[in-house]
Structure 1
Amino acid sequence: MENKKAIKLIDKILVDLDANGINTDSLIDDLKKLREYALEEQIPLVVKVLRYTYEHIEENDSFLIPIPDDEPIDEEEEGTTTAKEETVDPIESLKYMVALTKSVKNKMNISDLREYRDALMAY
């Protein structure tokens, strides 16, 4: 994102997650505010991911979506799950997702945000 206030808010969210974990009250408010900045900058993918994220947190009191895998999935391996996929660190995954919104010009960030969007929709 380009907006300096949005960048500051992203940094604040990351620091709060480190310090307090997933504190739903302030976190959801911050995510909603960050979504407003994404709306202003007209970044539909970020707007959607942030909305799905705070709705997911409201429903589950946590962030249960794993960090997207680095390697592309082979079609043969789709049916198998590894131990890495089964363990979800809600705080690390949420921090990674929020950090992705900082630089939406990076193609890998866009790709990972799309994976988060799809995972949140499927949850």
Structure 2
Amino acid sequence: MENKKAIKLIDKILENLDETGINTDALIEDIKALRVYALEAQIPLVVKVLRLTYEHIEANESFLIPILDDEPLDEEGVVTEADTNPVESLKYLISLLKNLNNKMNIADLKEYRDLLNNY
């Protein structure tokens, strides 16, 4: 995102995740506020990913989507408990929003969107 306020909010979310982990109430409010910036900038992928993210956190009181990895999962495609670090995965997702001009970031956001939809 290019909006300076959105970038500050992204930094705040990342900092709060480092300090307090997934503190659901404050985190959800910040993600909803960030979604407003994405709506204003008319970035449908980001709007959808942020909505799915806060709905997922509300429902699960955590972020249960594994961090994206170039490595395949186990033979059956199952994510093991060791593969899921909710804070690191969410930090990676939020950090992708800083540079939407990077094609890899967009590809990863689409993958997060699909994982969240299928959860």
TM-score of the pair, normalised by structure 2? 0.92
Supply the distance in 1 between the matched residues of 2:25 and 2:90 (Cα, whole angstroms). Answer: 15
Supply the distance in 2 between the matched residues of 1:51 and 1:14 (Cα, whole angstroms). Answer: 17
Match of 1:117 in 2: 113
Match of 1:91 in 2: 87
Match of 2:25 in 1: 25
Point out where structure 1 has 5 or more consecutive residues left out of the alignment: none
1:49 aligned counterpart, secondary structure: helix
Q: How many residues align?
A: 117
1:7: Cα distance to partner? 0.1
Supply the distance in 2 between the matched residues of 1:15 and 1:96 (Cα, whole angstroms). Answer: 12
TM-score of the pair, normalised by structure 1? 0.89
* Mapping 1:31-110, distance limit 5 Å: 31-70=31-70, 80-81=76-77, 85-86=79-80, 87-110=83-106
Supply the distance in 1 between the matched residues of 2:96 and 2:108 (Cα, whole angstroms). Answer: 8
Larger of the two Rg values belongs to structure:
1
Supply the distance in 1 between the matched residues of 2:64 and 2:95 (Cα, whole angstroms). Answer: 17
1:78: Cα distance to partner? 8.5
Supply the distance in 2 between the matched residues of 1:4 and 1:63 (Cα, whole angstroms). Answer: 26
Q: What is the identity, as a one-letter code, of the residue corresponding to 2:116?
A: L
1:35: Cα distance to partner? 0.3
Q: How many percent identity over aligned positions?
A: 67
Supply the distance in 2 between the matched residues of 1:17 and 1:61 (Cα, whole angstroms). Answer: 14
Supply the distance in 2 between the matched residues of 1:78 and 1:118 (Cα, whole angstroms). Answer: 19
Indicate the RMSD between aligned Cα atoms, in angstroms. Answer: 1.6
1:56: Cα distance to partner? 0.2
